[in-house]
Amino acid sequence: MEIILKREALSNTLQNINSVVDKSTTKPILSNFVIRTIDGNDSNVEFSSTDYELSLVELLPAEIKEQGSICVNAKKVFDIVRELQADDVHIRSTEQLWIHITCGTSETRLPSVEVGLYPQTVLEELPQSMTITVDDLRRCIDMTLFAAITNESRRNLMGVCLSSAGDQKTRWLSTDGHRLAQTVKSVDSLNFDADKEVIVPRKALTEVRRVAELFGENVNITFDDRVMQFSGGAIIFKTRLIEGKFPNCDPIIPKDNTLEIIVDRESFISSLRIVSSISTEKLRPVKLIISPGTLKLESEKADYGEVVDEIEIEYEGEPFQIGFNSRYLLDVLSVLESKNVKLECKNSMSPTIIKSPDDESFLSVIMPLRVEW
């Protein structure tokens, strides 16, 4: 193989490729990636990498001198290309499996691996599909991924559950057992069986979100029960879906929360940050003391000190108090964009809904904490 690529585009692509590459050293073959020329395409080459769960295939404009393919260490190539200065990067393979990378006056020689040893990413025609704008996809991921679980304790919660909400709408849902986040979004050309749901893993959504602007304007999503493909622009992500059943969250979303509190979102964030700043616990518990017109926030009364703050709210019911992990509140407040937010409670012990006052498409539910101070 012999190709010439633009350095800057190459460097960006290698960064994406490297994000997918498996960083653990248990499967050394997965530290590599593949470049190949494509039959019948004289102006692009295909870059691909996979960690078995998630694969990325990206097309890059190239001048093709000789067809072929190579498989080479992703981090080495990335580290070298990042330092190069000239505009054109010349990549050539030899029969002895050496890769020569020439740029300006510099020449690099790297060993490579038989392409056949690297797991190939096969793109598929998949039965279910939808088209979503890049902006909507980004919002759907931001509005839900924060509530998905990050550790391996419950694999079925390590992603976002996607299902049809009828009428060309999709429902995106995540939970870690202490809180949930749900957003409903209209999409184009939805072809999604009403009774089906799939769980999209965190890593896939994180990577898709990170490079979202590369998809162009729209992302075409296709899937079956096993895999999902995101394609648009010059890139395609393919991910395995998480096997298992997502818990039925509908019973957890309270229907009879009659106490409504309207809070200025930025004041609420700022007060939560002040009051939680003293805590030594990771999730930083706070107590909210709610009375007509006023929300008082209190940190735990601990040996190392305590903080209180107060903000104005719109509320007309009976005074009551309720505890939360401030981290959970801050997570949802920071993905909302409205001036005000609405908290819907029933009492000190009931799950609380947090949403925009004027947008029914998103809601988050947070379980309260028993506060004993």
Nearer residue to a second copy within complex by CB, 132 or 275: 275
Among 127, 244, 305, 319, binds a second copy (CB under 8 A): 305
What three-state secondary structure class fits 273?
A: helix
Return the H-helix or E-strand segment holding 215.
Answer: none
Q: Does residue 75 come out as left (phi exceeding 0), alpha (psi in the -120 to 50 range) or beta?
A: alpha
Residue 151 interacting with a second copy (CB under 8 A): no
Among 249, 278, 283, 367, binds a second copy (CB under 8 A): 278
Nearer residue to a second copy within complex by CB, 61 or 305: 305
Residue 273 interacting with a second copy (CB under 8 A): yes
d(CA 356, CA 338): 6
Site for a second copy in 51-80 (CB under 8 A): 73, 76, 79-80
Residue 111 interacting with a second copy (CB under 8 A): yes
Stretch that binds a second copy, among 50-58, 104-112, 199-207, 227-235 (CB under 8 A): 104-112
CB 71 within 8 A of CB 40: no
Instruction: List the x/- string, 78-97, binding to a second copy by CB under 8 A.
Output: -xx-xxxx------------
What three-state secondary structure class fits 227?
A: strand
Taking the complex as a whole, the smallest distance from the CB of residue 288 to a second copy amounts, in Å, to 14
Q: How far is CA 193 from CA 49, 133, 163, 224, 239, in A?
A: 31, 21, 8, 10, 20
HSE-CB of 291 using CA atoms within 13 angstroms: 5
Q: How far is CA 94 from CA 25, 67, 98, 101, 102, in A?
A: 27, 12, 5, 11, 14
Taking the complex as a whole, the smallest distance from the CB of residue 309 to a second copy amounts, in Å, to 4
Residue 310 interacting with a second copy (CB under 8 A): yes
Among 197, 306, 314, 331, binds a second copy (CB under 8 A): 306
Among 41, 206, 277, 347, binds a second copy (CB under 8 A): 277
Output the six-digit token pair for 34.
Answer: 């593949």
Nearer residue to a second copy within complex by CB, 244 or 305: 305
Pairing of strands 352-355, 259-264: unpaired
Taking the complex as a whole, the smallest distance from the CB of residue 94 to a second copy amounts, in Å, to 13
Nearer residue to a second copy within complex by CB, 107 or 337: 107
Residue 304 interacting with a second copy (CB under 8 A): yes
- Of 175, 166, 169, the closest CA to residue 136 belongs to 169
Nearer residue to a second copy within complex by CB, 249 or 278: 278
Apex 13 CA angle, 7 and 15, nearest 5 = 105
Residue 219 interacting with a second copy (CB under 8 A): no
d(CA 98, CA 94): 5
Site for a second copy in 249-268 (CB under 8 A): none
Nearer residue to a second copy within complex by CB, 2 or 309: 309
CB 332 within 8 A of CB 146: yes
Residue 43 interacting with a second copy (CB under 8 A): no
Beta bridge partners of 133: 218
Q: Which residues in this chain contact a second copy in the complex, by CB under 8 A?
A: 73, 76, 79-80, 82-85, 104-111, 270-271, 273-275, 277-278, 303-311
